[in-house]
């Protein structure tokens, strides 16, 4: 897992600038949460707070949204954004999503995680804690990477090249902990939720040029590999990426899981 406490302001800003596609998936999720004016909402792994501030506008001044995030740089951006939008109903705190001890039992109407839960190795602990802070009947929503999607994207090609060469070292490569959609259902049932919906939807990253797609993968996932290994993999990846190019452009298609559940009453 990355150590984001050392993330620079520039890197946090760069992250923010490249998060459009994620934001659009988040907007779909938010539409399905049934948020009302006056709701108390928690966004775990809020990043730079863009989606949380969209929620702040839906719930209005009677509502309250907390965004918790382990990167202080991203929280700084979220706070500045809230200030410039005069969103006094949005509170952003640096913290770990496993530790929600600052919140009382049965406090929130809704908890959501947009593209975050696959970063949690121990999903059961997280979900138990989320269950505790949700009101009975309260809603949990999340989008997540999963493992059982058809392999059609650049990351899969890059990872299998690394594995073939024996360079896939999980201490160097930024790995997350996705599971299958069936495992997600089981975990929710074990932690006191009733599952309302699990749905796989394609999430498409449409890059301007193949180089943009490859640069993005190296920046996000392979940045800690040695420069010589990066060069070696880059050359092969450029060749291999032709398999997923359409009209000279790489379209990364990766299924994302959308989940809506409720805390058992
Ligand atoms: C892919 S980003 C999504 C950000 C935001 N939810 C969005 O929709 O733009 C995942 C975020 O989860 C945060 N994160 C991962 N694990 C976390 C943890 N244990 N506690 C708090 N935040 C975490 C990361 O720092 C990162 O900002």
**What CATH number has the domain bearing residue 116?**
3.40.50.150
The answer to whether residue 169 sits within a structural domain is: no
Q: Please indicate, yes or no, if residue 159 is contained in any of the structural domains.
A: no
Q: What domain count does the chain have?
A: 1
Buried b (16+ CB within 10 A) or exposed e, 100-135: beebeeebbbbbbbbbbbbbbeebeebbebbbbbbb
Q: Average pLDDT, stretch 169-189?
A: 87
Higher pLDDT, residue 155 or 186: 186
Lowest mean pLDDT among 107-111, 155-159, 192-196: 155-159
The pick from 116, 129, 254 for probing ligand 1's pocket by mutation, whose C-beta has the most ligand atoms within 8 angstroms, reads: 116
Cβ pair 194, 261 in contact under 8 A: yes
pLDDT number for residue 139: 98
Question: What is the pTM (predicted TM-score) of this model?
Answer: 0.86
Range of the domain at 69: 4-147+176-203+254-263
Q: Is the CB of 67 under 6 A from ligand 1?
A: no
| The pLDDT of residue 71 is above 80 | yes
Which percentage of the chain shows pLDDT scores above 90? 65
* CA 176 – CA 184 distance, rounded (Å): 15
Per-residue confidence (pLDDT) for residue 122, from 0 to 100: 97
Token pair listed for 200: 């796989």
* Residue 83 resides in a domain: yes
pLDDT bin (cut points 50, 70, 90) of residue 253 is: confident
What pLDDT is recorded for position 150?
61
Nearest of 112, 125, 138, 111 to residue 191 by alpha carbon: 125
What's the pLDDT score for residue 6?
59
- Give residue 228 CA to ligand 1 midpoint distance, Å: 30
């Amino acid at each position: 897992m990355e150590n984001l406490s050392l993330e620079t302001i520039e890197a946090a800003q760069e992250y923010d600038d490249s998060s459009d596609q994620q934001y659009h998936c988040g907007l779909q999720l938010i539409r399905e949460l049934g948020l009302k004016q006056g709701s108390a909402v928690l966004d775990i792994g809020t990043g730079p707070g863009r989606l949380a501030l969209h929620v702040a506008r839906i719930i209005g001044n009677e509502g309250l949204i907390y965004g918790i995030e382990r990167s202080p740089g991203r929280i700084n951006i979220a706070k500045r954004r809230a200030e410039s939008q005069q969103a006094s109903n949005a509170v952003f705190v640096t913290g770990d999503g496993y530790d929600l001890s600052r919140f009382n039992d049965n406090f929130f109407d809704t908890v959501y995680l947009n593209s975050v839960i696959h970063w949690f190795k121990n999903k059961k602990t997280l979900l138990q804690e989320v269950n505790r802070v949700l009101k009975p009947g309260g809603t949990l929503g999340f989008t997540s990477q999963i493992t059982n999607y058809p392999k059609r994207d650049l990351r899969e090609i890059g990872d299998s090249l690394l594995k073939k060469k024996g360079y896939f070292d999980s201490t160097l490569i930024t790995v997350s902990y996705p599971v299958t959609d069936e495992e997600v259902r089981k975990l929710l049932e074990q932690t006191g939720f009733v599952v309302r919906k699990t749905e796989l939807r394609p999430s498409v990253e449409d890059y301007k040029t193949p180089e943009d797609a490859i640069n993005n993968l190296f920046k996000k996932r392979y940045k800690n590999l040695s420069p010589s290994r990066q060069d070696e993999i880059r050359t092969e990846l450029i060749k291999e990426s032709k398999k997923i190019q359409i009209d000279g452009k790489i379209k990364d298609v990766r299924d994302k899981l959308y989940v809506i559940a409720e805390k058992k009453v």
